[in-house]
Amino acid sequence: MDAAFLIIGATIAYWIYIDSVLAVDDVTGSAEPIRQFYIALVAVAVVLQLNIFHMAGLYKFSRLTDTSFQIRRSFGAIVILFAVVIFFLYIEKMSATYSRGWMLLWFSLTASGIMCTRVVLRPVMEQWIKQGLATTRVAVVGSGEAATRLAHYLLGLRDVSVEFCGIFDDRARSRRDETMPESDIVEMPRTGNIRQLCELARTQKLDQIILATPEISQKRLTELLKRMRSLPVDVRLCRDSLEYFLPQSSYEFCGILPLLRLYDKPISGWGKLVKRIEDQVLALTLLAMMAPVLLTIAALIKLDSRGPVLFKQGRYGFNNRVITVFKFRTMYHDRADFGGEQQITENDPRVTRVGQVLRRWSLDELPQLLNVLLGDMSVVGPRPHPLRCGVDGRLFEEVVEEYAERHRVKPGITGWAQVHGWHGAADTQEKIRERVKHDLHYIDNWSVLLDLKILAMTTYIVLKRTDA
């Protein structure tokens, strides 16, 4: 909507000032050359606008209902935007090309439209918050006065959309709390322990965990972070828990409360929306383009051996949840391994003739586009593994300590590990360690450009390789 108001404001200003007031170019006698320059400038301004507004914090979900903040910041961001545009035109000696009256009218219309939008949309955002669509669900880890004070603060917030989910800790009261004088705040009961907190994060929507633990030891902090690292949530440390201060850039604010950033959940906020749109567009496009191929493969599977066309297998998905993954059946139906305990080997007698061809060209993975449409998977992401998959008699999560961290994002049909040669059977500990290493690199460095790069590399590798 911000970009739309910028374009609409420029268009209306052009109609009013250029077409009506100036009518034609004083030099050429035509308005066409002017229009070309104006369109180019507006296009550049849109790109600058979205970046400046993003840096100004105008697109943070937690501040969308703060009308005062939105109006002040949006007006300041618009002033900066037009100052940058004018400075650019001055440096490039192009300022004479554009009408100052049009620029002033454009600025006024854009600022008015964007700030009015903030006021009009507030009731909509408040309704979303009441419905839980734009609410941040927060849990506190700690005990005693520190955790209780933080809980009361979160419960008292009005301008920030926070839903308090409880206090969790393995200990009833810390040693320091037992020696502290009685507080005027009645201590709140614990909701559960750390194990129950992890279960809550995996079974319900939990956005953030705040540690409120005075004088926490390095060993205790390391232990807590290790258990929370695999959860798809933001992990923060309340600054009141620290005996020293870090640079201001290390903090974010919940209301007026400064929180130290420890872990961020990957692909969150607007990135999550962009990723979802990317998945839906790619899945629908590929399914439409490859429909004849999919039907042909299905017919060949039915002619080659008895059994269903699709093979359904339970695998770990986002947040360690079990999902049903679709594949074209490549094994004889009576020899199928639904738990994934025995990995495919070269010249495996369980694989059908058609299955050998499908596996060689990775065509057996195509039905997972249906998983993408259902929202269980992404086109690009860490490959999902069967539930009982392991190596040397040990499950993958027993071999690699960070294995569960792969599940902080949705699994994918292809991924960073696959395009670097770590595809096929993970039949050695080194292979699964390298897969996890590459998957975590992808999670920590995700971008749309990285996804497009992986898709391009996947296409090249599939067409080039001959191994299954």
Best mean pLDDT range from 170-174, 239-243, 389-393, 438-442: 438-442
At residue 107 the predicted structure's pLDDT band, cuts being 50, 70 and 90, is very high
**What does the pLDDT read at residue 27?**
45
- Which secondary-structure segment (H or E) carries 162? strand 162-168
Helix axes 100-130, 67-91, angle to 10 degrees: 150
**Cα–Cα distance, 323 to 49 (Å, whole number):** 40
At residue 180 the predicted structure's pLDDT band, cuts being 50, 70 and 90, is very low
Structurally, the chain folds into a number of domains equal to: 3
**What does the pLDDT read at residue 466?**
52
The pLDDT tens digits of the residues spanning 423-435 come to 877 888 999 999 9
**206 and 241, same domain (yes or no):** yes
How many Cβ atoms from other residues are within 10 Å of residue 173's Cβ? 15
**19 and 85, same domain (yes or no):** yes
443 has a pLDDT exceeding 90: yes
User: Model pTM?
Assistant: 0.72
**309 and 425, same domain (yes or no):** yes
The pLDDT tens digits of the residues spanning 220-237 come to 888 888 888 888 899 998
Domain stops at, among 230, 263, 296: 263
**Residue of higher predicted confidence among 54 and 450:** 450
- Which secondary-structure segment (H or E) carries 136? strand 136-142
At residue 386 the predicted structure's pLDDT band, cuts being 50, 70 and 90, is confident
Give the least confident one: 52-61, 247-256, 386-395: 247-256
**345 and 409, same domain (yes or no):** yes
Q: What mean pLDDT is predicted for residues 359-384? A: 93
Which residue range forms the structural domain that includes residue 37? Answer: 2-130
CATH number at residue 220: 3.40.50.720
**256 and 276, same domain (yes or no):** no
Q: What mean pLDDT is predicted for residues 159-186? A: 64
- For a pLDDT cut of 70, what percent of the chain falls above it? 85
Domain stops at, among 77, 103, 130: 130
**332 and 278, same domain (yes or no):** yes
The pLDDT tens digits of the residues spanning 252-284 come to 777 667 788 888 888 887 788 889 999 999 999
Check: CB of residue 176 under 8 Å from CB of residue 145.
no
**276 and 258, same domain (yes or no):** no
Q: Is 187 helix (H, G, I), strand (E, B) or coil?
A: coil
**What does the pLDDT read at residue 360?**
83
**323 and 460, same domain (yes or no):** yes
**What does the pLDDT read at residue 243?**
47
At residue 38 the predicted structure's pLDDT band, cuts being 50, 70 and 90, is confident
Helix axes 270-289, 448-464, angle to 10 degrees: 30
At residue 218 the predicted structure's pLDDT band, cuts being 50, 70 and 90, is confident
**Cα–Cα distance, 450 to 282 (Å, whole number):** 15
**What does the pLDDT read at residue 23?**
52
- Which secondary-structure segment (H or E) carries 68? helix 67-91
214 has a pLDDT exceeding 90: no
Mean pLDDT score of the chain, rounded to an integer? 83
**124 and 142, same domain (yes or no):** no
Q: Could you give the C-alpha distances from 252 to 60, 116, 234, 249, 461, in angstroms and in order? A: 12, 28, 12, 8, 42
Q: What mean pLDDT is predicted for residues 124-136? A: 72
The pLDDT tens digits of the residues spanning 285-344 come to 999 999 999 999 999 999 998 989 999 999 999 988 899 999 999 998 888 777 666 777
**296 and 241, same domain (yes or no):** no
**Residue of higher predicted confidence among 250 and 155:** 155
**408 and 299, same domain (yes or no):** yes
At residue 62 the predicted structure's pLDDT band, cuts being 50, 70 and 90, is low
Domain stops at, among 200, 228, 263: 263
**321 and 400, same domain (yes or no):** yes
Question: DSSP letter at 132?
Answer: T
